[in-house]
Each structure stands twice: as structure tokens, then as C-alpha cells.
Amino acid sequence: MTESEIQTAIFDGLRKIAPETDPRQLSPAANLREALDIDSFDFLNFLISLHERLGVEIPEADYGRLTTLSALVQYLSKKLPREPTKAS
């Protein structure tokens, strides 16, 4: 899965819980929960949506690392199988 596809999944999940916001405007380094005013309940729902869509297990101990968009993309990239590079 490409980073762009992961980002799309993240944006879709964020739009579900904060429909009045545009996650695409988020700075990669911004704190997701603060920037979008997401409480712990909605954050859990967001992680559940990522788990359901991407099939990734996210242990509770890792929640604290998933604070920014870039951290989340990096975390999910490591957990998901990379797409084979196409030969030119």
C-alpha cells in the first residue's frame, strides 16, 4: 500500500468523526487530536476505522505515538506490506 493510499484512509477516518473539518489542510506535524478537537472516544473510533479498513492491529500501548499525521502514516507504513516497485 502506498503512502498516498494510507493518507486517504486516514483522511476518510478523520472526516467521519470530524465532518466539518478538512483533514487535507492539516500540517503533517500538527497534533491531530488538538487540531481537530478529537476526544479519546472519537480517537478510539478513528483507530477502529483504520483497523477495519487496513486490517492493521494497533496495540493500546502505541496510541501515544500516533499523535501527528506524519507519525501515523509512518506507523501504518511499517505495519502494512509495501507495494512491489514496478520495473520500468
Partner 1 sequence: MPSLGADMTEGTLVQWNVKPGDAIKRGDIIAVVGTEKADIEVEVYQTGTVEKLIAQPGDKLPVGTPIALIHVEGEAPVEVAPVQPAPKAGGRVRASPMARKLAQDLGVDLEKITGTGPHGVIERHDVEQAAQTKASENAEHIEAAAPAKPVAGMRHAIAVAMARSNREIPHYYLSTQIDMSVALDWLQGFNQKRSIENRVLPAALLLKAVARGLVQVPELNGFWVDDQLKPSPEVHLGVAISLRGGGLMIPAIHAAEQKSLEELMAALRDVITRARSGRLRSSEITEGTITVTNLGDLGVETVFGVIYPPQVALVGFGKIMDRPWAAEHGMLGVRPVLTATLAADHRATDGHRGAQFLQILDDLLQEPGKL
Binding site for partner 1 (CB under 8 A): 18-20, 33, 37, 39-41, 44, 47-48, 51, 57-61
Give least dist CB 48 to partner 1, A: 5
Q: Closest by alpha carbon to 29, among 77, 67, 76, 75?
A: 67
Between 20 and 83, name the residue whose CB sits nearer to partner 1.
20
Rg of the chain over CA atoms, in angstroms? 13
Output the smallest distance, CB 88 to partner 1, in A. Answer: 40
Tell the smallest beta-carbon distance from residue 17 to partner 1 (Å): 8
Q: CB nearer to partner 1: give 58 or 72.
A: 58
For 26-57, letters b (16+ CB in 10 Å) and e give beeeeebbebbebeeebbeebbebbeeebebe
Q: Which is nearer to partner 1, 41 or 87 (CB)?
A: 41
8 A C-beta contact, residue 17 and residue 11:
no
